[in-house]
Amino acid sequence: MITVRFPDGSHREFPKGITGWEVAKTLSISLAKEAVAVRIDDQLWDLTRPLEKDVTFEVIKRPSEEGLDILRHDAAHVFAEAVKELYPETQITIGPSIQDGFYYDLYREASFTPEDLACLEERMHEIVNRDELVSRETWDRKKAIQFFKDQGELFKAEIIEDLPEGEGITFYRQGNFLDLCRGPHLPSTGKLGHAFKLMKLAGAYWRGDPKNPVLQRVYGTAWSTDKDLQTYLTRLEEAEKRDHRRLGKEMDLFHMQEEAVGSVFWHPKGWTLYRLLENYIRDKITAEGYVEVKTPQLLDRSLWEASGHWSKFKENMFTLKDGDKVLALKPMNCPCHVQIFRQGMKSYRDLPIRMAEFGSCWRNEASGALQGLTRVRNMVQDDAHIFCTEDQIGEETRKFCLLLLNVYQELGFEEVIVKFAERPPVRAGEDALWDKAEAQLEAAARAAGLSYTLNPGEGAFYGPKLEFVLRDAIGREWQCGTLQLDFILPERLDASYIGEDGKKHRPVMLHRAILGTLERFIAIFIEHYGGKFPLWVSPVQAAVATVTQEWNDYAHKVLEKLRAAGLRVEADLRNEKINYKIRELSLQKTPYILVLGKREAEEGTVALRKLGGEAQEILALDQVIDKLRKEAIAPHKRSKE
């Protein structure tokens, strides 16, 4: 007999060799139906794998994060089986689960088409209906390599050749299909269900190296239920409507082109939006005692070597030679801020110093990774560094968290998720220093009243961090704000202050941002609102449109009064039908349209139409101005009005 311990602390005895699925059935039939795997002593196992010794035991359910990951991995295997049945000349490579789905990289001379994907998806449904048993096998390394070479699967053979010698190679078999995999997997293909869909085709280099063959990547999605799949597909449709690249063009905000890869051409309206958000943050941090600085963009590599960034980031830095020197465009602002801190002697009485910069940074992102405003090479961060004593860490963390949460609320993001990112595998500094940094940041986060989840291995190069994740209007999550606790950079760059004891001490450095990268945040902001911005941050707050050009003189008077009131207004005085003008202005997401015709000109009124509404109300011009001015007050200034 063996003893199985459950998450609630209870335990029971079972015959040796019982499977996880059989144990689950003794707990609850409904639980067993929802099971996709079991956790045995912190490892995920197949439901059909026998238990041979005392273990801790937990059932992994379909809708859980780990459960979905397993379902998506199974969907990838079912897809690969479909490929080999319909297109046997294809070589399959790797097929991992990813967020919201899976992909599989394939090598085939002929290109797959959307019609091929439809056929493959149909065959996947057939494989699920066959309910093929899925079994786990362990092979000798040499046998596994030879098997795949004999099958013509040279990419799979290469993967195994690169694995450490002496380890057994794990395979999963379903029907006549065999794939290299660690698992776990479902007991049979039928348990996957039909809540999956193939989504799109893309290209990829084998192992991400441009020198290697080009593969065809097929993306798919898989979910626990048909309802969840449909919800996801509906969300994708909504995301497409909100795509910041499409809205950026329709609203004339920005564009990008090949002559400046990864950089943005901001149009007048887009730059207005940019400046409004930048100035909003500037107002908020100024009120919190931050001082703003500006530092160089081009710096000698010696500074990056001293900070430790050169060894980790040099491949992602733009560099140029100046005689015998190597200069680099800065990828971040922090070493520059330390240089300002080091000018002149600082006392403990001077701390904390909150130093902010809207710093232009450059990162040599791969061209294939660039995507609109969300992934660029030239970016500006609402960056700041707080130089403080260890005793001030808790209070500075509390103040920053309150500021950040207030900003998100005022910008319309009600739900914020907080993650505590612990030390990464590659990092600067000794473990003892990381122990201290993690303990102090965790204590500060608790003192600030934050609820958070752990994000192991995702800390910054020089310290642990809090990550602030926004959930947008259609449920997507975006990591924006961050607070990083750093003992290391002040040491590396020799920053110090004179303490109360008259001796030199190292300051603590808190790296923090609220919006993060302004370009990326603006993309999130556009998609969150679908271009229908709050009035205070709309590049154009109202448009004046005449029924006929006969009323253009009155339109000019209206424009003059609106602009004198501080409103951002444009006019459409073309010789076009009014319905056409209204439709165009609505597509541009203009919040208010002021329609002017004979009646309005004679009575000194306007016909006011709000974006998204069918009705219009006739108001005196002064009433309209008063209404729009009140609505256009920025949220952080409303209490002062």
Active-site residue list? 334, 363, 381, 383, 385, 465, 511
Q: Which residues are CB-neighbours of 67 under 8 A, at least 6 positions away?
A: 36, 37, 60, 61, 224
Cα separation of 33 and 24, whole Å?
9
- To which H or E segment does residue 625 belong? helix 621-631
- To which H or E segment does residue 357 belong? strand 353-362
Cα separation of 405 and 416, whole Å?
8
Cα separation of 303 and 328, whole Å?
10
Distances (CA, A) of 592 to 412, 540, 556, 571, 615: 20, 9, 17, 12, 12
Residue 135 β-bridge partners: 173
Cα separation of 144 and 170, whole Å?
9
CB 196, CB 124: distance < 8 Å: yes
- To which H or E segment does residue 513 belong? strand 508-517
**Chain centre to alpha carbon of residue 627:** 37
Cα separation of 196 and 99, whole Å?
14
Distances (CA, A) of 88 to 85, 98, 149, 152: 6, 25, 15, 10
Residue 171 buriedness (CB in 10 A; 0-12 / 13-18 / 19+): middle
**Chain centre to alpha carbon of residue 18:** 42
What is the sign of the dihedral through the CA atoms of 472, 474, 478 and 483?
Answer: positive
Going across the sheet that includes 319-322, the strands are: 298-300, 325-329, 319-322
User: SS3 for 213?
Assistant: coil
Secondary structure (H, E, C), 12-65: EEECCCCEHHHHHHHHCHHHHHHEEEEEECCEEECCCCECCCCEEEEEEECCCH
Cα separation of 86 and 80, whole Å?
10
